[in-house]
Amino acid sequence: MKVIVIGLGNFGMSLAIHLSNTGNEVIVADHDLEKIEHIKNKVAHAVALDATNENAYHSLPLNNADLAIIAIGERNGAAIMSTAIVKKLTKAKIIARSTSALEDTILEAMGVDQIIHPEQEYAERFTKKINLKGSIDNFEIDDEYLVSEIEVCSALVGQTIQQSDFRKNFNLNIITILRKKEHTNFLGRAMKKPEVVGLPTPDMIFKTGDVLVVFGKDTDVKKFLKNHAHSSSN
């Protein structure tokens, strides 16, 4: 996918590098020459430009882009102006960063495809992780449901999924299981690496160290983690 990222603050810089490292053709733009110099060897192309000057955008291949991300975070109107210019010059999908409720309203009126709030979204996800003590990682679907990685409790080890009646007892669906398997690295040293075991079957047996990837309500994940902590302390 050809992606243009405008704005190289901490969020834009990190996003551009991650997108590039995962196989996308990434072109970045920012007014700061130091940032351009820092990232130029990590992406396909880096351009120095004033995001509020429409003429400067001719140096960007907006017509060939699949996605344009306006990642400018300053509260000086530059993000709104940049979004308006990009909206005028391309039919690519546009994702715009917003730093206020007012910017949300303006971006919605412009008809951008997606509005993001990186700091707020990170804070909410990190809060969820703190509140779900014992969970390894979480992906929030909405305010009520999430996908969570949780270590199997000792009381379940040795039982099959069917024997445990997992869905009925915990009101959670197991999507898959991550299980550590021994591998030999390029130095010939044995190491354990988690692997996905695939779609779970009723006769699959829980093993010590298994990480269950489950889908369900936030409250039900908390209940399971509470039981996990209780069984681990016995």
Nearest to 106 by CA among 97, 119, 91, 89: 97
Binned at pLDDT 50, 70 and 90, residue 130 comes out as low
Average pLDDT score over residue span 209-228: 87
Residue 131 pLDDT greater than 60, yes or no: no
Q: Which residues of 217-234 are buried (b: 16+ CB within 10 A; e: fewer)?
A: ebebbbebbebbeeeeee
Amino acid identity for residue 85 in this structure: I
- Token couple for 21: 């490292």
Backbone angles phi, psi at 152, to 5 degrees: -60, 140
**Segment 77-104, tens digit of pLDDT:** 899 999 999 999 999 999 999 988 889 9
- Tell me if the domain spanning 128-233 has CATH number 3.30.70.270: no
Question: Is the pLDDT at 233 greater than 50, yes or no?
Answer: no
Distance in angstroms (rounded) separating the CA atoms of residues 20 and 4: 11
151-196 residue pLDDT tens: 898 899 999 999 999 999 999 999 999 887 776 655 566 666 678 8
The pLDDT tens digits for 44-84 are 999 999 999 999 999 999 999 999 999 998 777 899 999 99
Strand partners, 68: 4, 94
- Residue 133: its pLDDT value, please? 58
> What percentage of the chain reaches a pLDDT higher than 70?
83
Nearest to 90 by CA among 122, 115, 117, 66: 66
CB–CB of 138/128 below 8 Å? Answer: yes
What global pTM score does this model have? 0.61
Region 2-118: CATH code: 3.40.50.720
Residue-range domain boundaries for the chain: 2-118, 128-233
